[in-house]
Structure 1
Amino acid sequence: MAATAGIHTAPAPGEAAPGAPVPVTLAEAVPVWARIAALSFGGPAGQIAVMHRVLVEERRWISENRFLHALNFCTLLPGPEAQQLATYVGWLMHGTRGGLVAGGLFVLPGVVAIMALSWVYALYGNVGLVAGLFFGLKAAVLAIVLQAVIRIGKRALKGPVMVGLAAAAFVGIFFLGVPFPLIVLTAGVIGYLGGRAGLPQFKAGGHGAGGKVVEGPFLLDDHELPRERAAAGHTLRMLLVWGAIWLVPVAAILLAFGSDDVFAQVAVFFSKMAMVTFGGAYAVLSYVAQQAVEHYGWLRPGEMLDGLGMAETTPGPLIMVTQFVGFLAAYRAPGALPPLMAGTLGGLLTTWVTFAPCFLWIFVGAPYVERLRGNRALAGALSAITAAVVGVILNLAVWFALHTVFAETRPFTAGPIRFDVPVPSSLNPWALALAAAAVLAVFRFKVGMVPTLAACAAAGVALHLAGLV
């Protein structure tokens, strides 16, 4: 079938050119996507870095330019860009089926992990030894995020103009609180004008000052066409199918239980969130926490941070914290259902309405983005947006570092400048030591991601058993 056949770059049917990657079937791709999903720690920065390493450097399934082009598009969409990037590449390789496999597997480990931890949290009120596990994992994740910022920055910041855009984005979002959509829009306009004018600083592809681009050949090189092309019939079909997959369950719940039912509230609220989560999870989680605690009463103050700790230290998108919110909402208002069953259904419903739109955006929009891939002005806009996103990811890395090493921060304000500074007395020496060890392992001794995660997790558990954390 067309959806499962591999992409061929060979000069003759069934015969690969010397040194060319071997065509891949969907069945052969599944374990690779599963591996990427299992290693998807560290938020979007770490997840994108893992995908780049596996898809571009190791497997050579997709070229550098195609990968960054897909990433540029996904950063413009509401929802988790890393999951959408996996869906995009899966779609490029094997059509809709491939996108479903890649995007679905990317979410699955997080669904299972968050659900299991939600059960433990609901039954025991804390995660016991898991708290020590989280403590250690956070230190490793910090090192992985820093590594990701450097890797992505080297490949996206091609010259002083792109470095300047990244720096401006970091200053804008970290020190001035500029909204992410405004940063993306400004960078896009600058890049569009620069690309349209033919300025070399905004040209996509090629080697830049940031580092060496991975050489081919690739299964998906810069000229390979996607299996599914932009067409009115295809677009309408995807809109109808994925619109129904997303919204029919929501409508059915509203009709069956009424708008005041907790399942209806969860379905409607998180469907709205799926359409406005621009800029990653951090951009919207404060609003989700406020609504969940103050408006709906689903969570108690502080519980959102517990859920965020789960999501930060388990595989999958950070937005998976919403599953924890949906779980507790239904667990505490189960109606006629057993609380744990209600919580499980509430968490799964939240995940459904959060991620179904992600497939809709990709399957509808990707064919058109691919058709415009050679457009010079669009390429300039997307390259500039990617540079700005590097600055935003750096902002997330700094935020994560502050909250990993320090227990408390306080706001600093001076005119338009406002940012959080750590409280020195809240420094956790064990967190600092573990983070330093993880950074040393990753950058100095080139220790892999899995051994670093495992070692830090074991150290965290040991510190917890010793009563030190």
Structure 2
Amino acid sequence: MSNSWITFIALYLRIGVLGFGGPQAHIAMLREEIVQSRGWVDAERFDEGLGLCEALPGPASSQMAIYLGWLQRGFLGGLISGICFLLPGLLIVLGLSELWRNGQSIPSFSTALQTLQPVIAAIIWAFAWKLLHNRKAGWQRITAGLVMLGGLLNNFSPLTLPAGGLLLLAGLSRWLIAPTPSAPTPPSAGNAGLLAPIPLATAPLLVGSWGVLGQLFAVFFKTGLLVFGGGLVIIPLLEQQVVSLGWLNSAQFLDGVAIGQISPGPVVLTSAFVGYQAAWQEGGASFAVLAACTATAAIFLPSFAFILVGAPFLQRLRHQPSVKTMLSGLLAGVPGAVAAAAVPLTWTAVESGVIWVQLLLFSLALRLCVTGRMKPLPLISASLMIGLLLEWLR
């Protein structure tokens, strides 16, 4: 156990500040600090929690911070550890969100964002490729292909085939065809996850500035309920709703993804950027901060509830054969959902600047990502520098 609450809080805040590199890096840091260096939690309990968090909706690394705090100091400990883990990233995203608003009129800032967009698109494509590469069985790749086809029809035809519905259908189909799991549930790679787009009709029909808060809470809370593993995959899928509601256009949403990527903590903190921009026109900076916190609280609320309220029951449930079978089918379709959502985002990225420059950046970034020669964070930093250099050369 930790010596004091101050030590406990300071550690999770420090991990939150240094939480770059994606969920696997976060989890490795938590293990090093909590299990190996301090012995606050034993390795077996840590691994049990990791298995549970991988199978639950929500970002696995955030849930692990909540879970470890819960093991150490009960309900209050889990609440505080989760908040401390997320708070540094949230504050940084808020600061960058305001900088983004002010910087849109600065040419160098705009050029840097233009060069960043194809790199983000390439990162999403590489993510989809790595997910597919980890699905070795033929049925898994067929499932991914069918989900991608459905996603493309949803994007480019009048048919309404929401990605979340397609993935849930993939899980149900696997459960019906193979009621007994033939293989373990595939582990999440990178920021694996899924998102079921929420029909706009379910958002509260409110008017005025406070109606924005209601819409944000409804959209992001329902998102948090259906995000398995969290991270990158919710970003392209969430884009449809954000654009439909008029909060951002596709190019602006890609900027938000970039801000989520370069900030510590889970990429899901892009929710703060969306909330900030959605509410800024309604009530200025103060109201935008409130909206950003509302969106962030809503998307993480299910994660806190699952761990702090339902952990003992869910620990047993995830071992049920039928649950494992459905999850295996559902996760098999995730690469297809990511790829389908990446298509329109890539088109937007290429059109946002000089086409040959955007295509070159996209191709180089995709190759570097797929081959593993560069991680996403250095790629993003390099693309920003290229954008600033191009503006200086004009």
What TM-score results when the alignment is normalised by the length of structure 2? 0.70
Find the counterpart in structure 1 of residue 351 from structure 2: 406
- 1:91 corresponds in structure 2 to 66
- CA offset at residue 378 of structure 1? 0.8
The question of 1:439 aligning with 2:392 is answered no
C-alpha contact (below 8 Å) 1:192/1:377 kept by paired residues: yes
Unaligned runs of 5+ in 1: 6-24, 40-49, 75-80, 212-258, 294-298, 332-339, 408-425
Kindly tell me: are residues 373 and 348 of structure 1, through their superposed partners in 2, closer, same or farther at Cα, counting changes over 3 Å? closer
Q: Secondary structure at the match of 1:204?
A: coil
Q: Report the counterpart of residue 162 of structure 1 in structure 2.
A: 140
By percentage of residues, which structure has more helix? 2
Of 357-366 and 384-393, deviating more is 357-366
Compared with structure 1, are the counterparts of its residues 165 and 440 closer, same or farther at alpha carbon in structure 2 (3 Å cutoff)? closer
- Please point out which of 139, 157, 179 is paired with 2:118: 139
Deviations 1:85-114 (A, max 9, x none): 223222333325356545663464355334
1:152 alignment partner, one of 121, 125, 131: 131
Q: Which residue in the other structure is 1:52 paired with?
A: 24
Distance in 2 between the 1:163 and 1:192 partners? Answer: 16
**1:280-307 superposed Cα distances (whole Å, 9 cap, x missing partner):** 355455444444x4xxxxx6xxx54464
**CA deviations over 1:38-79 (Å, ceiling 9, x no partner):** 44xxxxxxxxxx3235536996889999757634431xxxxx
Instruction: Provide the aligned C-alpha RMSD in A.
Output: 3.9
Match of 1:322 in 2: 275
Superposed displacement of residue 444, structure 1: 4.5
Aligned match for 2:336, one of 385, 391, 394: 391
CA gap of 1:91–1:351, structure 2 versus 1, over 3 A, is closer
Matched, 1:105 2:105: no
Aligned equivalents of 2:278, 2:144: Cα separation in 1:
33
* Distance (whole Å) between structure 2 residues aligned to residue 137 and residue 171 of structure 1: 28
1:138 maps to amino acid: Q
**Residues 1:455 and 1:195: Cα distance change in structure 2 (over 3 Å):** same
Secondary structure of the equivalent of 2:259? coil
Q: Is the 8 A contact 2:150 2:161 kept in 1?
A: yes
Amino acid at match of 2:389: A
CA distance in 1, matches of 2:79, 2:331: 22
Deviation, structure 1 residue 440: 3.6
Q: Alpha-carbon deviation of 1:360?
A: 2.9
Partner of 2:194: none
Counterpart of 2:18 in 1: which secondary structure?
helix
Measure, in 2, the Cα distance between the counterparts of 1:154 and 1:69: 24
Counting only pairs closer than 5 Å after superposition, residues 245-324 of structure 1 correspond to structure 2 as 262=209, 264-277=210-223, 278=226, 280-283=234-237, 285-291=239-245, 293=246, 303-305=248-250, 307-315=252-260, 316-317=267-268, 318-320=270-272, 321-324=274-277
- Partners of 2:335 and 2:30 lie apart in 1 by 23
Flag the 1:139–1:466 CA change in 2: closer, same or farther, 3 A.
Answer: same
Is the 2:239–2:250 Cα contact (8 Å) retained in structure 1? no
Conserved in 2, the CA contact under 8 Å of 1:327 and 1:347? no
In structure 1, C-alpha distance between the alignment counterparts of 2:117 and 2:378, rounded to whole Å: 14
Superposed CA deviations along residues 241-295 of structure 1, whole A, max 9, x for unmatched, are xxxxxxxxxxxxxxxxxx7652x3233222222343357355455444444x4xx
C-alpha contact (below 8 Å) 2:216/2:291 kept by paired residues: no
- Aligned 1:450-469 pairs, distance under 5 A: 450-467=377-394
Indicate which of 187, 193, 203 corresponds to 2:170: 187
Q: Counterparts of 1:190 and 1:374 in 2: how far apart (Å)?
A: 19
* Deviation for aligned residue 1:325: 0.5
Does structure 2 retain, via aligned residues, the 8 Å contact 1:87–1:359? no
Q: Residue 204 of structure 1 corresponds to which residue in structure 2?
A: 185
Aligned to 1:217: none
Normalised to the residue count of structure 1, the TM-score between the two structures is: 0.60
SS in 2 for 1:313: helix
- For 1:441 and 1:281, how far apart are their aligned partners in 2? 21
Letter in 2 for 1:376: P
How many Å separate the matches in 1 of 2:289 and 2:213?
A: 14
1:307-364 deviations in whole A, cap 9, x for unaligned? 4133121123243312211222212xxxxxxxx4444444444444454454334433
Instruction: State the Cα distance separating 1:381 from its structure 2 match.
Output: 0.8
In structure 1, the partner of 2:263 is none
Q: How has the CA–CA distance of structure 1 residues 99 and 187 changed in structure 2, closer, same or farther, with 3 Å as cutoff?
A: farther
In structure 1, the partner of 2:195 is: none
Deviations 1:181-232 (A, max 9, x none): 3213322222333553x352x54369xxx99xxxxxxxxxxxxxxxxxxxxx
Structure 2, unmatched stretches of 5+, are 36-42, 155-159, 190-205, 228-233, 261-266
Mapped to 2, the partners of 1:2 and 1:58 lie a distance apart of 14
Select the structure of larger CA radius of gyration.
Answer: 1
Q: 1:328 & 1:283 partners in 2: Cα distance? A: 24
- Per the alignment, residue 375 of structure 2 pairs with 448
Distance 2:174 2:78 in 1: 31
Change (3 A) 1:102 1:456: farther
Give the Cα separation in 1 of the matches to 2:178 and 2:3. Answer: 35
For the residues of structure 2 that align with 1:127 and 1:110, how far apart are their CA atoms? 24
1:130 equivalenced with 2:109 (yes/no)? yes
2:305 maps to 360
CA contact (8 A) 1:194 1:380 kept: no
CA separation of 1:353 and 1:385: change in aligned 2, threshold 3 A: closer
Q: Amino acid of the residue matched to residue 171 of structure 2?
A: G
Question: How far 1:377 sits from its partner (Å)?
Answer: 1.3
**Deviation readout 1:130-182 (Å, 9 max, x if unpaired):** 22222233233233323322333333x24111121111111111235522232
**Could you say what secondary structure the match of 2:115 adopts?**
helix
User: Is the partner of 1:446 in helix, strand or coil?
Assistant: coil
1:386, CA displacement in angstroms? 0.9
Question: Counterpart in 2 of 1:173?
Answer: 151
